Amino acid sequence: MAATSRSADGKGPPASAPSDEAASTADSSASASAVGDSSVPLYTPSSLAACPPLARLQAYGLCCPFLETEEDHDARDCVNTLQNYPITWYRKKRVEDVTNDVRGAVPSSGGIMKGLGAMLGGTGKAEIPMAYVGVPATLTVVDTEEHGPLIEVRALETNDPDDAEARDVLHKFVTEGKPWWEDPIIKDSAPSKVIPVYIIDQVAAGWSLTGDATAGGVKLHAAPKEKGFLHSGTGPELLRFDTLGGGGSLLGKAFGPVKTDEPNKHSDKIIVQLRSLIDWNRTRMAKEIQKGNVAVAPKSSSPGYVAMS
């Protein structure tokens, strides 16, 4: 199904909300914009004047803390914690990653690697199946007009030997302790990936029987495409990453800067907070439907699916 949201006073025709196709292409749109395609719109950040969902969540927790449920509290913690939160993002490995690895080891191999790139896929952005590479990145939860709460991933791509600026940011972190996740090169960049919260069905701990270092400490999955005894219990993977930041201690944030910890030291807390955010968003959507603020219409391409602004 697709859903549309009505105006705040409940009058007038419903405003357009994201269709199933829009939700399914959110990641590709973000990737296109991240490489310089300004013609591809991502989304419109909500203004505080519109009193968006996350702003209401924050206000309720501050004004009525004794009436706040545990789910609301953990969801609010998630929003507060995942603001420019440092992670190692394990994205699909690309042809350009392979060529850069070889160029870094053998600087004179540029011509050979150009031919190899053509054999593997022709374009540097082509992904290699079943292969992942870890890149420094940040997670941020934001409010949007089209998709409601969503997760932004901004990456600091340091694999390109020609990108001296990105590598310099990491060098300053190692030598001077300057947080790379606070540097404008990543903080002000376009998102490399965006995930609307409403399409996340499951948050799980990552693990690997073979000791795969790219398995990730946290994984986000969409809903299974098919349900039943013979089908897998998890849907397509949306994101895998290692946590590098803290577990959401507001006291720690107040008395000291955010510091990177050992990978996945606080992944269990981040998993709980993300699950609470997803459950809170589902409850919010259900209430909006009951109030008549959301008009639900069937979509033959995705039975039982609900998208909401």
**Which has more pLDDT, 282 or 107?**
282
Q: What span, in angstroms and rounded, lies between the C-alpha atoms of 74 and 284? A: 15
Residue 277, number of CB atoms within 10 A of its CB: 26
More confident residue, 108 or 190: 190
What order of strands is seen across the sheet that includes strand 202-205? 193-196, 150-155, 127-142, 85-94, 237-243, 218-221, 202-205
What tokens were used for 269? 């807390």
Nearest alpha carbon to residue 270 among 17, 74, 34: 74
| Other Cβ atoms closer than 10 A to 246 | 20
Averaged pLDDT score across all residues of the chain? 73
The pLDDT of residue 162 is above 60: yes
| Cα distance between residue 78 and residue 124, in whole Å | 35
Residues 121-133: tens digit of each pLDDT: 555 566 666 788 8
pLDDT band (50, 70, 90) for residue 244: very high
Q: What is the mean pLDDT of residues 271-288?
A: 91
pLDDT band at 8; cut points 50, 70, 90: very low
The per-residue pLDDT for 294 is 62
Roughly what angle, to the nearest 10 degrees, separates helices 53-63 and 267-290?
Answer: 110
Q: Give Cβ neighbours of residue 67 (< 8 Å, ≥ 6 apart).
A: 60
Range with top average pLDDT, 67-71, 109-113, 192-196 = 192-196
What pLDDT, in 10s, does the model give residues 187-234? Answer: 999 899 999 999 999 999 987 777 788 888 999 999 887 776 665 677
Bigger pLDDT: 129 vs 176? 176
pTM for the full predicted model:
0.73
Q: Is the pLDDT of residue 7 over 50?
A: no
Task: Answer whether residue 26 shows pLDDT above 60.
Answer: no
DSSP letter assigned to residue 189: S
